[in-house]
A and B are shown apart, each in its own frame.
Chain A
Amino acid sequence: MTRFVLGRIGFSTLIAVLLAFFTLPLLWLASAPLTSDPTYKVSVPDFTWENFQTILEHPYALPSLYNSLVLSVGTALVVVLLAALAAYALSRVHLPGRDVLLYVLLLLSSIITGTAAMVPLFQLAVDLQLIDSQFGLILILSGGLLPAAIFMLKDFMDATPKSYEESARVFGATPLQIVRHVVVPLVRPGLATIAVWSVANVWGNFLMPFLLLRDVEKQPAAVIMYTLYTEGGQANLRLLSTFGLLYSVPVVVMYLIVSKKYGFRFHGGIKR
C-alpha cells in the first residue's frame, strides 16, 4: 500500500516537473509583454500596454505579420490544390513503381527546404529571377511541402470508397467534376489538415525567406523577429516578447477554428 502511494507521489511529481518545464516559457510569453521591464524570469506583470504601443510604431513589425500571412496562405493554397490533384491521381491510377516514387519524393523533400539545398536553391532562384519575390518564395516553399502533403492526402483518398466515384462516372460526370463534387467534399478534413500544416510550416520558416528575400519590407515575421535587438546588440526583451505573442496568436486561433470545424469525423454510415 505504502509502495503504491509513494509510487503515485513520485509519478505525480515527475509529471509536475515536466509540465512546469513546458509551461514556464508559455507563462513568460503571456506575462513579459505586459511587464515594463521584462527579464528572463517569469514575473507578475505590471499590466502596461507600452510594449504593444512600441510594436505598433515599429516600421516593420505589423507589415511583417501581413507578409507572413501572404506567404503562408499563398503556400497553403498552392499545396492544397496541387497535392489534392496529385494525390487523387496517385491513389486511383496504378502506375508501376508508384510507391517507390512517393517514398523517394518524401525523402528528397526533407532535403529541399532544408539547409543542405541552400546554395543550389539560391542559385536557382537567381537564375529564374525569383529572388526577392514573394511569389517565387511561395513556389519554393510549396515545392518543399508538396511531397509530404501528397503522401498524407493519398492516405485520405485511399480511404474513400471507389463506388462514390464510379457512381458519379456512370451518371456521366467528368473526372474534374468527380473531384469537385465528390472527392473534395469527402476528403475535406484531410485538406484542412494539409492547409493548417502548410500554414504552420511557412509561418515558422526562417531560413528560406531570410535567404531569398532581400527587401526588409517583404520579410515575414519570423525574420523580423531576428532583428529585434537594442542598439547595444542585446536582445530587446520588451519587443521580442510582445512580438512573439502577436506572432503566435494567429496560428493558435487558426488551429482552434479548424479543429472545431473539421475535427476528424467522417460522414456516412454505410455498413461495409
Chain B
Amino acid sequence: MAAIELRGLTKVYPGGVRALDALDLVIPDGEFFALLGPSGCGKTTLLRTIAGLETATGGSVVIGERDVTGVQPGGRDVAMVFQDYALFPHMDVTDNIAYPLRIKKVAKAARQAKAAEVGARLGLDHLMDRRPGQLSGGQQQRVALARVMATQAQAFLFDEPLSNLDARLRLEARTFLKKLQRELGVTTVFVTHDQAEALAMADRMAVMEAGHIRQIGTPAEVFQRPANTFVAAFIGSTPMNLLDGVVRGGTLEVAGCALPVPTSAQGLLADGEKIVYGVRPEYNAYASEPAEDALGGKVVIMENLGASHLVTLDVNDVLVQAIVPEGREPAIGEQGWAVPRRDRALVYRDGELVAG
C-alpha cells in the first residue's frame, strides 16, 4: 500500500497540446480517489502517466516515497484496469487472472492456486475455464478486478471501470467496487466522466478541466461548495442555477428579484459588484404562495424525477429550477416562488467562489 504524489506533473503531446499543466496532487494511502471531468480534460492522460504508459514532459510521480517518473510501467508496482478490461481473449479466466504472476515467474501450481483464491472471492469459481468472450460484461469486469488483485500491487488504477456496463449493472458494480476497495484498503485512483459515479464512490475527488485541476475535495465539499462555476455546472444530476446578479446595498439583485447575501459571502461583497448567484435546485424550496427573499415566476416546465419533480420557473425571462417533493406539484402556468436556502446559496465573482 502506498500514497501517490504528483509534483508539477506536465504532459505536452507532440504538436503542442498541453494535456496536463503542472498538476500537484497528493492521494493518501488507502484512499479511493476519483478523477472527474468532461472528455478531453486530461483525466485519462493523468491516469496513464501515473501508470507509466505516458511519459511525463515535466514534474514527477512519487508512489510510496519512491520517485517512479522515469521507471517503466512494469516497475512501478501499480495495477491497472482498462476501460475495455483488456482481458486476453485467447486465455481462459484462470490464465488471465494468473498472468501477472506468470510474468513474475511464480510456479504454475502456485499461480493457479492464487487465481482460484482470488476468483472465488469475486464469485468467479464456476467460470474459471471460460474464455472472456463467453462472459457477460459484469463478469468480464470482475475478472479484470481479480487480475489486478492477484498482482498485490501498491496502487490500483481504474480507467472508466463502469462505462462498459449497462445502466442497471452499473449501479450494482458501483456498490460492489466501493465495498471491495474498502476491504482491500489499496490506494485506488479511478477515472470517470460521470459525476454521479464519482460522488457515489470516491473518498475524495479531483474535478479537471483542460489539463488543470479545478477543485479537489470530498464529494460533499465538491457538491455543496463548488469552487468555481465550471465545477458548479459540472457536478449534480440537475444542473445548478447560475444567475447573473448585481450587489445593491445589503441585498443581491438577481433576475429582477431581491435576495439576501448568502451566509458564505457575508461581508465579502462590494456595492455595485457584478456577481453570479448559484443555488442548486435541491436547495431551492418551492412555494405556491408569495414568499420573502424568493425568485417568483411562472411555472413553464415540470420534469418527473421519480420521488420528486424538477420545476422550471420563468423569472423575468430567466429560467430558475427548484425541486418539489411528491404530492405538491404545481400546474404549468401557475405562479410559483423558489426560495433559496441562505446557507447553501453561493456567490461567484469572475467564476470563482466568494467565501471567507
Contacts and interface: CB of A to CB of B under 8 A. Distances in A.
B84 A172 contact: no
Contacts, number: 79
Q: Which of B51, B53, B86, B131 has the most CB of A within 10 A?
A: B86
Contacts of B89: 186, 266-270
B288 interface: no
B100 A268 contact: no
Given A161-B86, A164-B88, A167-B86, A270 B140 contact: yes
B74 A170 contact: yes
Interface residues of B, number: 33
Nearest to A188: B90
A156 to B, nearest CB: 14
Contact of B79 (A163, A166, A170, A188): A170
B85 A270 contact: yes
B263 interface: no
B338 interface: no
A171 B151 CA distance: 8
Given A269-B133, A271-B137, A170 B80 contact: yes
Contacts of B87: 270
Given A170-B73, A171-B151, A186-B90, A267 B133 contact: yes
B176 interface: no
Interface in A137-192: 161, 163-164, 166-174, 177, 181-182, 185-186, 188
Contacts of B133: 267-269
Which residue among A166, A171, A181, A271 has the maximum number of chain B CB atoms within 10 Å of its CB? A171
A210 B245 CA distance: 92
Nearest to B80: A170
B39 interface: no
A94 to B, nearest CB: 9
B75 interface: yes
Interface string B287-321: 00000000000000000000000000000000000
B103 interface: yes
Interface string B64-75: 000000001111
Given A267-B131, A267-B133, A170 B84 contact: no
Contacts of A270: 84-85, 87, 89, 132, 140, 164
B99 interface: yes
Contacts of B83: 163
B73 A169 contact: yes
Interface in B47-95: 51-53, 72-75, 78-80, 82-90
A38 B79 CA distance: 71
B85 to A, nearest CB: 7
A188 B53 CA distance: 26
B121 interface: no
B104 interface: yes
22 contacts: A161-B84, A166-B82, A167-B82, A169-B72, A170-B52, A170-B80, A171-B74, A171-B100, A172-B73, A172-B104, A173-B74, A177-B103, A181-B99, A181-B102, A186-B90, A266-B89, A267-B89, A267-B131, A269-B132, A270-B140, A271-B137, A272-B84
